[in-house]
Structure 1
Amino acid sequence: MLQNRVDPFGNLITTKARGKWLGNRGQLHGTGKTILRPFKHKAWISCELVFKGRRRVIMSPNLWTELFFLDEATALAAGHRPCFECRRIAANLFKAAWLKGNPEYGFNLKTKIGAIDKILHRERIDEQGKKVTFQATLKDLPTGTFISIDNEAYLVVNDLIYQWSPFGYAAGKQIALSTVVKVLTPKSIMNALKSGYQPQLSLIT
Structure 2
Amino acid sequence: MTLPNRVNPFGGLFADPARGTFTGNRGVIHDPETRTPTGRRWSRKAWICCALTYQDRKRDVWGRNGPGGSAGWTELFFADEVTALAAGHRPCFLCRRGAATAFASAFAQGMNAPAMSAAGMDAVLHGQRRLSTRADAQRLSPIDLPGLPDGTMVEADGRAFALRGRRALAWHADAYGPPMALSDLMRFPVTLITPKATVTALRNGYRPAWRADSTA
TM-score above 0.5: yes
Alpha-carbon shift at residue 181 of structure 1 (Å): 2.5
Of residues 146, 152, 158, the one that matches 2:153 is 146
Specify the alignment match of 2:67 in structure 1.
none
* Partner SS state of residue 27, structure 2: coil
Of residues 44, 49, 57, the one that matches 1:54 is 57
Seen in structure 2, the aligned counterparts of structure 1 residues 196 and 74 have a Cα distance that, compared at 3 Å, is same
Q: Which segment is superposed worse, 66-75 or 180-189?
A: 180-189
Specify the alignment match of 1:35 in structure 2.
37
Specify the alignment match of 2:215 in structure 1.
204
Tell me, yes or no, if the aligned pair for 2:130 and 2:193 is still in contact at 8 Å: no
> After superposition, where does 1:38-117 map in structure 2 within 5 Å?
38-61=41-64, 62-103=71-112, 107-109=113-115, 111-117=116-122
Tell me, yes or no, if the aligned pair for 1:124 and 1:131 is still in contact at 8 Å: no
Partner amino acid, structure 2, of 1:108: P
After the TM superposition, list the runs of 4 or more consecutive aligned residues in structure 1 that deviate by more than 2 angstroms.
129-133, 175-181
- How many equivalent pairs are there? 200
> After superposition, where does 1:9-20 map in structure 2 within 5 Å?
9-20=10-21
Q: Give me the identity figure in percent.
A: 38
- What are the ranges of 5 or more consecutive residues in structure 1 without an aligned counterpart? none
Seen in structure 2, the aligned counterparts of structure 1 residues 79 and 131 have a Cα distance that, compared at 3 Å, is farther
* Partner SS state of residue 148, structure 1: strand
Alpha-carbon shift at residue 178 of structure 1 (Å): 10
1:125-156 C-alpha deviation (Å, 9 max, x unpaired): 477x6686212321121000000011100000
The two structures have a TM-score, normalised by structure 1, of 0.91
Of residues 179, 190, 202, the one that matches 2:199 is 190
Q: Which segment is superposed worse, 17-26 or 169-178?
A: 169-178
Partner amino acid, structure 1, of 2:51: E
Q: Which segment is superposed worse, 93-102 or 168-177?
A: 168-177
